[in-house]
Amino acid sequence: MAWEKRGIGPKDYVAVSVPGGNLVQSLDSGFVDAAALNPPTMFFAQRRGFHRVLDIGSLVEMASGGLTAMTRTIRGRPDEVKRIIRALQLGKKAMLASRDRTLALITGVLKMDKETAADTFKIVESSFNDTGIPTPEGIGNIIKAIKAEGRFADRNIAFEEVADPRFAIEVAKELGYQVK
């Protein structure tokens, strides 16, 4: 999707599947010319001399870090679902408000050096959806990606089949976020 926004179509490249742990080695060996890397791996690659050629996150809105629940859980225990969403939102808010504590946690738990932790924090901070409410564009891009893999290619999938924003909207309003 990001390449398409830059005018590059599927005929202009060949996509190969490489296990995530082998992406940097595949770049080093020349097996691949480019790889989609997430923090902190992208910072390790940059420090080895590789350059960022495309910022996918700035070009393609994609829902991430969402909550997945069974339909029967949503229907049968809606208060629990809402409490979990609230806890996730409050945790995100605390993490962003306490940069130093978050960096200490990242370096301690993930055994990451301070520079990489700070770079990772900056990327994560810029990518968060303020309200936590899934957007039609973000969910639509997830559906498009799934269809590109050949799954559900024979039918249209509606936003409502994938996302139920009711609880996130309620929590966002209760936490004082501006909700459209």
Taking only the tens place, the pLDDT of each residue in 20-61 is 789 999 999 999 999 989 888 899 899 999 999 888 877 787
- Under DSSP, the state recorded for 22 is G
Phi, psi of 25 (to 5 degrees): -65, -35
Structure tokens at 179: 């909700």
Q: What is the pLDDT of residues 79-95, one digit of tens each?
A: 999 999 999 999 999 99
168 within 8 A of 131, measured Cβ to Cβ: yes
- Averaged pLDDT of the chain: 89
Q: What is the mean pLDDT of residues 63-81?
A: 87
Pick the more confident residue, 137 or 57.
Answer: 137
Distance CA 104, CA 107 (A): 5
pLDDT bin (cut points 50, 70, 90) of residue 117 is very high
The structure's pTM equals 0.73
Q: What are the domain boundaries of the chain?
A: 2-59, 71-174
Residue 51 corresponds to which amino acid?
H
Please name which of 61, 64, 42 lies closest in space to residue 53, comparing C-alpha atoms.
Answer: 42
Q: What per-residue string of b and e applies to 109-126 under the rule 16 or more CB within 10 Å gives b?
A: eeebeeebbbbbbeebee
pLDDT above 90 coverage of the chain, percent: 42
- Is residue 100 over pLDDT 80? yes
